[in-house]
Structure 1
Amino acid sequence: MSIERNWAGNLVYRASQLIRPASPDEAREALGSRARIRMLGTRHSFNDIADTDGVLIALDRMPRVIEISDERDAVRVSSALRYGDIAPHLDGAGLALANLASLPHISVAGAVATGTHGSGDRTGSLASAVRALTLLTADGEIRELRRGDPGFDGAVVSLGALGAVIYLTLDVEPTYTVAQHVYEGPSWDAILADLDAVTSAGTSVSIFSTWQRTDAADQLWVKQRQPDERADQRDSLAALLGALPAAAKRHPILGADPQACSEQGGVPGEWFERLPHFRLAFTPSAGRELQSEYLVARHDAVAAIEAVRGLAARIAPLLLVNEIRTVRADDLWLSSSYGTDAVGIHFTWRPDEEAVRALLPAIEAALPDSARPHWGKISTLDPAEVRSRYPRWADFAALAASYDPERRLVNERLEKLGL
């Protein structure tokens, strides 16, 4: 696909120039342009958060860095690397990340900057694993921030408003294996009667539905670290939900070819081959699609799912699949799980953006006020309302102004948000 478009093909970038520096010095020179600047990652955003009418800078030609700390508790990586590039190297060294997103195809910097998360009741977002970052500011200054430093909690999920993140240091742990089980047809009433029991049935749990029916979800995916000490509990829960083990490998989207998906059927495998839903060597998800996602406070989760259930007849014709998953609370100012355990309600839409945008206001009005739209996905929620759902927004705006006083990193989307 041409670099002028995003991954989904629904956005044409307006930039007058794309610069791909091959070194920190070249990156500093690129940032020295007097034009407006935005950073471009793997182009997996579905809105214009990475867009600009000035200069786009992509760091995918920067030197590849994967440096494990002497203590073997952290890894320093070049920011444009994808999680799928880093994971095998870590595993080969006997190490692992605590979490991965559905797709290993996304860049570390892009995922962190937009609060992309993965899943797990006791697992934080991908950004929560960041212990240090190296920023190249718009005026060419290199700044290092470490966990605990003033401003660090604001600089991690940054929306690209502070500068070019050139290196990130992530927490790691000893490697582990995971097995994935898929169940079909769990009852919605039973799920909502004890959502905590369902989402705690594994290390990572996803509920998939096309909302073609409202009595039962389509699938329940349970990923569990090995050894699986809760196997009996998991199987008993599935029986209570009226769910049956899948007879064969499944794709989240009913009827889609499951070849692109990670291994299922309870076969243990490396963490990076099971935690994502999709394999790096294949086109992720449906390929051509749109995405929206809203993360609600855990205490609002049942009400939020019921709200979506009530709109099923309007949602289903546009929907490829809806996924529900969980994220542990963190202290990162612009994280969608800031200050609260969260439940993500993720929509993968058919590629009809006009119709999707016409429907989203009804979904957003029905969801509880704690719902925070994913920064990189399609939403129509008023920017002032989005700001109001982040208690540290004013602090972030002040931090961004201190890093970029000339506002060269601010694009139209960030202007609407008040930066």
Structure 2
Amino acid sequence: MTDVTTEKNWGGNHTYRARIERARSVEHLQEVVAASPRVRALGSRHSFTDISDITDVEDGVLVSLADLPTTVDVDPASRTARVTGRAAYGDVATQLQAAGWALGNLASLPHISVAGAVATGTHGSGVENGSLATAVASLDIIGPDGELRTVGRGDADFEGSVVSLGALGVVTALTLDIEPTYDVRQDVYTGLSWASFDANIEEITRSAYSVSLFTRWTDAGIEQVWRKSRLDEAPVDLHGALPAGRTLHMLEGAPTESITEQGGVFGPWLDRLPHFRMEFTPSRGEELQSEYLLPCADALTAIDRLRALGPRMAPVLQACELRTVAADEHWLSSSYGHDVLGVHFTWLRDEQRVYAVLPAIEDALLPLGGRPHWGKCFVADAAAIEPLYPRLSDFRALRDRVDPDRVFGNAWLERVIG
């Protein structure tokens, strides 16, 4: 048990209010859940709000899985691997690579926990690549009574249980789809004009297995294009953008030793698909993040609206990344039902000024179907979010059945889900 008055999230902008208990084993975790009136699970703490905290029950508990082991059990016959939920993607990837296997995609940070990333709909990039949740074949979940159950692909509750915001229980293990290991090259281009991007957006986003585009919403256009390819190819014509002559960081002036290798050098998938190396502190740490994911069909309209907001965002914006994510069928996934363009903002860690500009961004993007990333900063409440998710009422019904007493509830869920 720990006094949590000094325990913070990764961004350093939130101090947890409830006590933290470190689970010594899955059995111990079951006992803690069964004995507690209110429980939330902590993973890598990479969310930027009170999504994981408890604020309204004095005897509630935050359970940390940090002391549980990272295990990766590969089943070659089914092409799956069972991994512990607290494991960081980078650690899972290292073990898979050693066994000759790989995941189909990774997020930009390998440091995030598998369970937490999946629960919030976190994603990588690629027109044909779904979010990290689409690789999940099954989940082991501790329910409010402390009992451990498994929900698998094909079960009636599966599509509502994967991206679940921690509202249905504590995920202790996941079974993930895997494939034989592969190599990737990463090439960075600079100087893509808005005119070229607007005229060729689909071709550019389809030009590699994973594509990320960075802008600060100025007349400079798309300042960097990061192409991650599984093909050994000559440099492509990227509509006026030029190959970078050196390793670049997406944040101006940031040191590049933390960045995964660029320059078209082929290497293992786990060393190219993330933007950051596992052995370094990712990005700058002291920052806030927001992201909105909207139908690809409305991408150019969204970009026009954001360009108009560029001067308002500039004082607190470090960089903005555009990525595509393929559609899926997970009820609370930000790519439920259609392919999306993710617009990801890395802000200065200045909550007052960031939250002052978010309403204007949401006024621009939510009417286009833009869905806020669950783990990042946004101001939309349940009334604003409900029209964006056709299966939200089904999720509420599932939650009522699985956790009628709201053991896994908190103020954030009430504010955002209802």
TM range (shorter): over 0.9
On the 8 A contact 1:22/1:63 being kept in 2, the answer is no
Identify the residue that residue 127 of structure 1 maps to in structure 2.
133
Which of 290, 303, 306 aligns to 1:305? It is 303
Instruction: Give how far 1:72 is off.
Output: 5.4
Instruction: Give how far 1:176 is off.
Output: 0.4
Aligned equivalents of 2:364, 2:25: Cα separation in 1: 48
Instruction: Give how far 1:386 is off.
Output: 0.9
Which of 33, 41, 45 aligns to 1:31? It is 33
When normalised by structure 2's length, the TM-score is: 0.96
* Secondary structure at 2:36 match in 1: coil
On the 8 A contact 2:107/2:273 being kept in 1, the answer is yes
Aligned equivalents of 1:198, 1:418: Cα separation in 2: 36
Change (3 A) 1:70 1:3: farther
Q: Is the counterpart of residue 90 in structure 1 residue 123 in structure 2?
A: no
Aligned equivalents of 1:413, 1:172: Cα separation in 2: 33
Identify the residue that residue 49 of structure 1 maps to in structure 2.
51
Segments of structure 2 that go 5 or more residues without pairing to the other structure are: none
Which of 210, 217, 220 aligns to 1:204? It is 210
Identify the residue that residue 283 of structure 1 maps to in structure 2.
281
When normalised by structure 1's length, the TM-score is: 0.95
C-alpha deviations, 1:357-412, integer Å up to 9, x for none? Answer: 00010111112431000000000123211122100001101111111111111100
C-alpha deviations, 1:256-293, integer Å up to 9, x for none? Answer: 11111000000011100000000011111122100000
Which of 8, 11, 14 aligns to 1:11? It is 14
Change (3 A) 1:3 1:177: farther
Identify the residue that residue 324 of structure 2 maps to in structure 1.
326
Aligned structure 1 segments of 4 or more residues deviating by more than 4 angstroms? none
Root-mean-square deviation (Å): 1.4
Q: Is the counterpart of residue 190 in structure 1 residue 196 in structure 2?
A: yes
Identify the residue that residue 150 of structure 1 maps to in structure 2.
156
* Secondary structure at 2:184 match in 1: strand
* Secondary structure at 1:260 match in 2: coil
* Farther-moved stretch of structure 1 (186-195 vs 128-137): 186-195
C-alpha deviations, 1:293-313, integer Å up to 9, x for none? Answer: 000011111111111111111
Aligned equivalents of 1:408, 1:382: Cα separation in 2: 21
Instruction: Give how far 1:347 is off.
Output: 0.2
- Aligned residue-pair number: 410
Q: Is the counterpart of residue 226 in structure 1 residue 231 in structure 2?
A: yes
On the 8 A contact 2:329/2:337 being kept in 1, the answer is yes
On the 8 A contact 2:5/2:15 being kept in 1, the answer is no
Segments of structure 1 that go 5 or more residues without pairing to the other structure are: none
* Secondary structure at 1:258 match in 2: coil
Identity of aligned residues (%): 50
The letter for the 2-side match of 1:179 is R
* Secondary structure at 1:185 match in 2: strand
C-alpha deviations, 1:176-206, integer Å up to 9, x for none? Answer: 0000000111111110112111100110001
Instruction: Give how far 1:33 is off.
Output: 2.7
* Secondary structure at 1:81 match in 2: coil
The letter for the 2-side match of 1:384 is A
* Secondary structure at 2:377 match in 1: coil
Identify the residue that residue 217 of structure 1 maps to in structure 2.
222
Identify the residue that residue 180 of structure 1 maps to in structure 2.
186
Instruction: Give how far 1:3 is off.
Output: 6.5
Aligned equivalents of 1:373, 1:70: Cα separation in 2: 37
Map residues 52-63 of structure 1 onto 2, 5 A cutoff: 52-53=54-55, 54-63=60-69
